[in-house]
Amino acid sequence: MNAPEPKELSVSLALTPQLVADLGREAGALEVAQAYVIDSPQMAALANTELQDVKRRLKLVDEWRERFLAPVRQLTDTANEFFNPARLALKASEECLKTALLGWNRKEEDRVAAERRIAEDAARRARAEAEAKAAAERAKAEEQAREARQKAAAAEAERARAAAEAERLRHEGNAKAAAEQERKAKAAAAERARQEEAERTRVEEGEARAQQATLQAAASIPVAVAEPGKLAGFSSRDNWVAELAPGFTEDGAKRAICEALSAGRFDLYSMILIDKKAANKLAKALEGNFNVPGMKAINKPVAASRAA
């Protein structure tokens, strides 16, 4: 750091009693000016004389003030000469390091985002595989249950046929044959009950296998990705700013905004700023011929006076 050699910096400001009294007297100038009632040529002449004297005294007070502040300005210039090299270097260092750390933050965020995308893709694949396996298990169980239902229906049909045949044989007096048919009817009823139980079992087992496939997939899903590294005392936040779009100049952007307003984009009204400085300059040049929509030129005379 190339700083100037150390210096003794001091300044002495003194107000003499006479200067204090003169300034106190001038502080009452407004009361004198406000007391003037200009209702005749004579009073106008007196007021004009007072105006010229006020301007002379104002110039004198400004000179006193300048002499009073000259040492302060010299002290300020010397202090800036001494401190500014260090301040500018430190400020530049601050911006340099902030830029570097923001770049590192962005890389960390990009890394974490990429790892998160990979983990999410893997999780989606695992869930899809689990859902497909669970659906296959349920479909298999449903097929087995359907077969059991068909067998139960066939057993019920056999039971009904055997019961009807047993009833017919009893009426005919053939007790032995009727008993054989009744035995067959009971066996068919037992087979129907067994097949109905098998149907329920197949459905329950299929659902259990489907849930197991889902749980196994959930256990295989990647764990959460670690957050970006944190630095003590350093943080960043989003700071959106508006810039000209590629290919647009300021005038081009203004035209585009005006076209959007014409198309109904009333939310863009705040983007139209009236340049009073440019408008005043145009009014001075055109005077009564000033023609700007929504504005008009007004003549506001400015008083001028020379000190006597």
Give residue-wise pLDDT tens across range 138-161: 788 788 878 878 888 888 888 888
Residue type (1 letter), 308? A
- Residue 1: predicted pLDDT: 47
Q: What is the average per-residue pLDDT within 189-204?
A: 83
Range of the domain at 277: 250-289
- Residue 89: predicted pLDDT: 94
Q: What is the average per-residue pLDDT within 84-97?
A: 93
Query: Domain for residue 227, yes or no?
Result: no
Query: Domain for residue 265, yes or no?
Result: yes
- Residue 149: predicted pLDDT: 82
pTM of the predicted model as reported, rounded to 2 decimal places: 0.51
Flag whether pLDDT at 4 surpasses 60: no
Helix axes of 41-172 and 175-220: crossing angle, nearest 10 degrees? 150
Query: Domain for residue 306, yes or no?
Result: no
Residues 49 and 155 in one domain: yes
Residues 100 and 202 in one domain: yes
- CA dist 212 and 158 (Å) reads 39
Query: Domain for residue 165, yes or no?
Result: yes
Query: Domain for residue 160, yes or no?
Result: yes
Residues 153 and 280 in one domain: no
Q: How far is CA 21 from each of CA 15, 32, 54, 171, 280, rounded to the nearest angstrom?
A: 10, 17, 17, 147, 43
Flag whether pLDDT at 238 surpasses 60: yes
Average pLDDT, the chain: 84
Residues 215 and 266 in one domain: no
Residue 213 contacts residue 136 (beta carbons within 8 Å): no
Flag whether pLDDT at 208 surpasses 70: yes
CA angle 261, 265, 270 (to 5 degrees): 75
Query: Domain for residue 1, yes or no?
Result: no
- Of 201, 196, 197, 203, residue with least CA distance to 140: 203
Residues 266 and 119 in one domain: no
- CA dist 241 and 227 (Å) reads 26
pLDDT band at residue 90 using 50, 70 and 90 as cut-offs: very high
Residues 45 and 182 in one domain: yes
Identify the weakest region by mean pLDDT among 56-65, 204-213, 241-250. 204-213
Identify the weakest region by mean pLDDT among 40-49, 101-110, 218-227, 270-279. 218-227
Flag whether pLDDT at 137 surpasses 80: no
Query: Domain for residue 11, yes or no?
Result: no
Q: What is the average per-residue pLDDT within 219-225?
A: 64
- Residue 161: predicted pLDDT: 87
Identify the weakest region by mean pLDDT among 94-103, 172-181, 188-197, 227-236. 227-236
**Number of independent structural domains in the chain:** 2
Residues 213 and 273 in one domain: no
What is the longest distance spanned by two Cα atoms in the chain?
157
Residues 168 and 38 in one domain: yes
Flag whether pLDDT at 2 surpasses 70: no
Q: Percent of the chain at pLDDT above 70?
A: 92
Q: Encode pLDDT of 46-73 as tens digits.
A: 889 888 989 998 999 999 888 888 888 8
Residues 212 and 271 in one domain: no
Choose the final residue of a domain: 220, 237, 260: 220
Residues 180 and 281 in one domain: no
Flag whether pLDDT at 234 surpasses 80: no
Choose the final residue of a domain: 182, 198, 220: 220
Which residues, 6 or more positions from 13, have their beta carbon under 8 angstroms from its beta carbon?
A: 68, 71, 72
Query: Domain for residue 239, yes or no?
Result: no
Residues 95 and 160 in one domain: yes
Residues 280 and 184 in one domain: no
Let me know how long the chain is. Answer: 308
- CA dist 256 and 39 (Å) reads 57
Flag whether pLDDT at 8 surpasses 70: no
pLDDT band at residue 221 using 50, 70 and 90 as cut-offs: low
Q: How far is CA 12 from each of CA 7, 9, 126, 201, rounded to the nearest angstrom?
A: 16, 11, 81, 104
Element containing residue 96 per DSSP (H, E)? helix 41-172
